[in-house]
Amino acid sequence: MDAERRLRPETVAVKAGRGPGAPGDPLGPPLVMASNFHAGAEREYARTDGTPTWRAFEEAIGELEGGDAIAFSTGMATAAAVLDTLPVGARVVYPTVSYLGVRRLMDVDGDSGRLDPVGVDITDTGAVIAALDGADLLWIETPTNPMVGIADLERLAAEAGDRGITTVMDNTFATPLLQRPLEAGCDVAVHSATKLIGGHSDLLLGVAIAREEEWAQRLRGVRHDTGATPGGLEAWLALRGLRTLPVRLERMQATALELARRLSQHPEVEQVVYPGLTHHPGHELAQRQMDGFGTMLAFMVKGGAARADAMCRAVRLITNATSLGGVETLIENRAAAPGEEHLPEGLVRLSVGCEHPEDLWEDLEAALG
Ligand SMILES: Cc1ncc(COP(=O)(O)O)c(C=O)c1O
């Protein structure tokens, strides 16, 4: 284990979660589809004790993030489980420009009085620190969805830690290949493994990785009690996806940077947001805390919502669809999605995939024209 920890993340992604491998064993963990097991061993019922397939996925992602991993049915089930552990009335500081589903959870829990959510601009470090007094939990997302904003992970985790506040970080956009929140001082990292980790737009899955045993136990308890368990096939597919995550990421983020550069010079494009561009306000911070700028970018088309919509419908190779992180490039008029009215009008989100960059560019240019 210790020897493996010293391996680079690209290698850990390939190697972790395989078991010792006796002669005749399959190279990868087999898909175990089981709800219950013969009595008399440590594993009897899947919801309580897990399955070998979940464990293999959890071991691999846990090793990459540097903590104890608990897989859930979806990214949202993971986020809900974290919030479920909090006492009634707990104050949660969270980003107001961030993933829609988590913001909605904050609204619902705030309206019912179960939680006391306080929204902040997570990229404004001073404003976040000013909101921390009296808080129980700080929820960070960086890069943010869909504005690709960058929050100061280490500073925020340290300020929260000094005040005894738990820090939870949604690492979906970066993955542990590009950014390791637990090393930066956060208590729990969460993911929608539906996205880059699965990587093929064919599953829903979530995972939380806790630095301390106490948080891992709490989250395992919520998973058990609410039944928000992962599917066997989904966990198996996600582990299969994880094996190629490093190479997919390398290709996807190189293309994302190239497309961001070209889009920012296009006469029909108003503004491009990508942390790899030097004019992005979080560029230097991203350079410091990430091992790459990621696969997601956003841009505004001149002419507002109607032009953005027309562009998303005009692409031929790229798919006009929601979600992100798969091998296929997706485009979405994100500002038109219900619940995203606060975004700049006509904001288009691009999830860059593995296609040849020149084919993608030709498609974007034609659609812009
Ligand atoms: C940053 C982020 N976190 C969490 C989620 C929720 O994940 P899931 O759709 O797997 O529930 C998403 C989904 O888009 C996301 O983008």
Please, which pLDDT band fits residue 19 given cuts at 50, 70 and 90? confident
Query: Contact at 8 Å (CB) between 89 and 136?
Result: no
Return the residue whose CA atom lies nearest to atom 7 of ligand 1: 75
| Residues 278-298, mean pLDDT to the nearest whole number | 98
Number of helical (H) and strand (E) elements in the chain, helices listed first: 14, 12
* Gap from CA of 334 to ligand 1 centroid (Å): 14
Q: Is 194 in the pocket of ligand 1 (CB under 6 A)?
A: yes
Instruction: Give dist(CA 365, CA 39) in Å, integer.
Output: 62
Q: What is the pLDDT of residues 89-127, one digit of tens each?
A: 999 999 999 999 999 999 999 999 999 999 999 999 999
Q: Token pair of 322, please? A: 């929601």
Return the residue whose CA atom lies nearest to atom 3 of ligand 1: 192
DSSP secondary structure string, 295-317?
A: SEEEEEETTHHHHHHHHHHH-SS
With a cut of 60, say whether residue 162 has pLDDT above it: yes
CATH of 2-241, one of 3.90.1150.10, 3.40.50.300, 3.40.640.10, 3.40.50.2300: 3.40.640.10
| Residues 28-53, mean pLDDT to the nearest whole number | 97
With a cut of 80, say whether residue 4 has pLDDT above it: no
Look up tokens 């190697």; give the residue.
15
pLDDT of residue 179: 98
One of 68, 84, 94, 99 is an active-site residue; which one?
99
Q: What is the pLDDT of residues 135-152, one digit of tens each?
A: 999 999 999 999 999 999
Overall pTM surpassing 0.75 (yes/no)? yes
204 DSSP 8-state letter? -
Look up tokens 């561009």; give the residue.
277
* Gap from CA of 119 to ligand 1 centroid (Å): 19
pLDDT of residue 193: 98
SS3 137: strand
Q: Where are the domains of the chain?
A: 2-241, 245-368
One of 152, 170, 187, 363 is an active-site residue; which one?
170
Query: Contact at 8 Å (CB) between 325 and 289?
Result: no
Mutate to test the pocket of ligand 1, among 140, 195, 204 (most ligand atoms within 8 A of CB): 195
With a cut of 70, say whether residue 281 has pLDDT above it: yes
For domain 245-368, the CATH class is: alpha beta
With a cut of 60, say whether residue 170 has pLDDT above it: yes
302 is an active site residue: no
Q: Is 204 in the pocket of ligand 1 (CB under 6 A)?
A: yes
Query: Contact at 8 Å (CB) between 286 and 275?
Result: yes
Atom of ligand 1 nearest to the CA of 76: 11
Beta bridge partners of 347: 300
Query: Cα 287 to chain center, whole Å?
Result: 18
Instruction: Give dist(CA 187, CA 184) in Å, integer.
Output: 9
* Gap from CA of 192 to ligand 1 centroid (Å): 5
Q: In the chain, which ranges are E strands?
A: 68-72, 90-95, 115-120, 137-141, 166-170, 188-192, 206-210, 269-273, 296-301, 319-320, 330-333, 347-351
Q: What is the pLDDT of residues 184-240, one digit of tens each?
A: 999 999 999 999 999 999 999 999 999 999 999 999 999 999 999 999 999 999 999
Q: Which residues have C-beta within 8 Å of that of residue 247, sequence separation ≥ 6?
A: none
